[in-house]
Amino acid sequence: MTILDHTWSILKLLIFIGVYISIILKILVSRVHKHVSDNWSEHRKNPMFIPRAGAFRRDGDSRSFTESTGSNFKSWLWTTGKNFFNVLMKPIKYILTLIHKIITKFRSILDTLRAQAKAIRNMFSNIVGQVAEKMSNTTAAIKFYQAKMTDIVKRQKAVFQLILYMAKAMKMTFDSLIKGPIPAIARFFPMFGILLLVMIALCIVCFVGGPFVKLVTCPICAVDMASVAAVAVCFDKNTPITLANRKCIPIESIQLGQRLLLGGDVLSTLRFRIQGRRCPVYSYRGVVVSGSHLVYTLEGPKRIQDCSEAQLLTEGPSELYCVITEDHRICSGSLEFADFYECGCVETNATTMNFVQDALNAVSDAVSDQRSPTASEPHVYAWGFQKGTEIEMEDGSFCPIEAIPYEARVRDGGAVYGIICHATASIRLYDIGDNIGVSGTQLVLHQGVWVRAYTLPGAREILDPPHSITYSLATEQHCLRLQGGIQVRDYMEIEEDHPVFDKIHLANLQASARK
């Protein structure tokens, strides 16, 4: 029997074996497929399954074989790339972590230093504060004891002065007792009789000789004439005044609001007729000026009459001019003078106002000197009346203040010898009743006492003055009477030869020297 006789048997065996192997393979493939599907997260990166990832789709996955395979490949590629880059980034991450740690450590060190600096600063601040407080307390204690010692010394000085005065009084008392009043009276009456006879003879000569003798020869009238003094700090009308633009014009041409070199804006203009009044006028380096005017020299501020270069004029001008400026300076060529105001110190000016007011009210010098200056009182030397204010004349008629000329005679004041104009914008006006507008520092007689207008009961400040110029006058008796019988002082306020002007001139001179 040949092999061909067994071909069919062999073929059936091979078919059987093939079917068996197919069944085995199918079971094996099914189990492998199930195993891979169940553990897909572990096998999806296996190169064997990546090309066939679509065959391991789970139930409910509607994607096609190609889409599922492509999605798995992308996931594998991303994961592989991420792991690769993680490996590459490890040195960089290490370096960045190291830098972060260094910065964190440095920040911690800085925070520690800031905390220590804050503690040191607070400690230093406390130390300095305590030291400053102790020094302040020590200084205050030293000043207190210094003031106490000064007071004690003054008291001791006063006691010794009283003892000295007592000794002098006792000496005078003994001299009076020794010499006696009767011998003195006996010596006085003969001399008095002779003087009385001489005075009677002179009066007879005066009566017979007429007014010429009265004005020239009679000593009694000479004394009377000497009392008509003029405290004028002014210039001759032709005195050249330097403007801010360096041009010069005569002082009589100066207008309110013009700007002067060093002085600023002109706030007031003043002119006085001094003919027949005692007002010494000097020539000082070519400028004709009153003796009481203040000039600034290399040695400091001086009155013209105290300057060695000043020459007294026997025949001076009949009219003098002056101005008040913002900075209280007037330049004439290379010379620098004070203005009529003289001083810009508020305390000094308030003190001078107190001097005059106290003198008019007969307040003693002791009380006046002890009174504190009212520094809040504004616009010293700027008193006056608004345009149109009616002034009562000597004949009983009324005239607007701006229309009153020189030599006109006013009620209570006599002849007018000075005319003053102020820029209203530089002062404060008050309505004191009946639409009478006056500056706040104008002296008004109220219940027998001279007071400043702004302190009057019912005085009301005029916030929008109708006129740009405020006026005032200087009169022989320094009084004016307004409508309604209101009595006020003129611009000079008090007699020009009153001792109060010595105190005012001294105060202004001292204030100018300090400046």
Helix (H) or strand (E) holding 462, with range, is strand 460-462
pLDDT tens sequence across 236-278: 999 999 999 999 999 999 999 999 999 999 999 999 998 766 7
Given a cut of 80, whether residue 318 has pLDDT beyond it is yes
Chain centroid, CA 70 distance in Å: 88
Residue bearing the bigger pLDDT, 36 or 457: 457
Cα 493 to Cα 355: distance, rounded to the nearest angstrom: 11
Query: Which residues pair with residue 322 across a beta bridge?
Result: 270
Cα 294 to Cα 27: distance, rounded to the nearest angstrom: 135
Q: Dihedrals φ, ψ of 380, to 5°?
A: -65, 145
Indicate the length of the chain as a whole number. 515
Instruction: Of 338-342, 372-376, 392-396, 401-405, give the lowest mean pLDDT range.
Output: 372-376
- pLDDT score at 2: 58
Average pLDDT over residues 349-373: 66
Average pLDDT over residues 313-336: 91
Tell me the CATH number for domain 346-514. Answer: 2.170.16.10
- Contact (CB, 8 A) for 462 and 430: yes
Q: Which two tokens stand for residue 143?
A: 């000043």
Given a cut of 90, whether residue 224 has pLDDT beyond it is no
Cα 508 to Cα 348: distance, rounded to the nearest angstrom: 7
pLDDT band at residue 479 using 50, 70 and 90 as cut-offs: very high
Query: Which residues pair with residue 492 across a beta bridge?
Result: none
- pLDDT score at 223: 40
Given a cut of 70, whether residue 505 has pLDDT beyond it is no
Given a cut of 50, whether residue 440 has pLDDT beyond it is yes
Most confident of 196-200, 385-389, 500-504: 385-389
Q: State the average pLDDT for the chain.
A: 81
pLDDT tens sequence across 62-109: 677 777 777 777 877 887 788 888 888 888 888 999 999 999 999 999
Given a cut of 90, whether residue 373 has pLDDT beyond it is no
Given a cut of 70, whether residue 450 has pLDDT beyond it is yes
E-strand spans in 93-212? none
- pLDDT score at 230: 46
Cα 157 to Cα 151: distance, rounded to the nearest angstrom: 10
Average pLDDT over residues 215-228: 42
pLDDT band at residue 331 using 50, 70 and 90 as cut-offs: very high
Given a cut of 50, whether residue 285 has pLDDT beyond it is yes
What is the value of pTM for the model shown?
0.54
pLDDT band at residue 349 using 50, 70 and 90 as cut-offs: confident
pLDDT tens sequence across 456-477: 998 999 989 999 999 999 999 9
Tell me the CATH number for domain 235-338. Answer: 2.170.16.10
- pLDDT score at 411: 94
Given a cut of 60, whether residue 210 has pLDDT beyond it is no
Burial of 232 (0-12, 13-18, 19+ CB in 10 A): buried
pLDDT tens sequence across 379-418: 445 779 999 999 999 999 999 999 999 899 999 999 999 9
CB neighbourhood size of 115 (10 A): 10
- Contact (CB, 8 A) for 416 and 475: yes
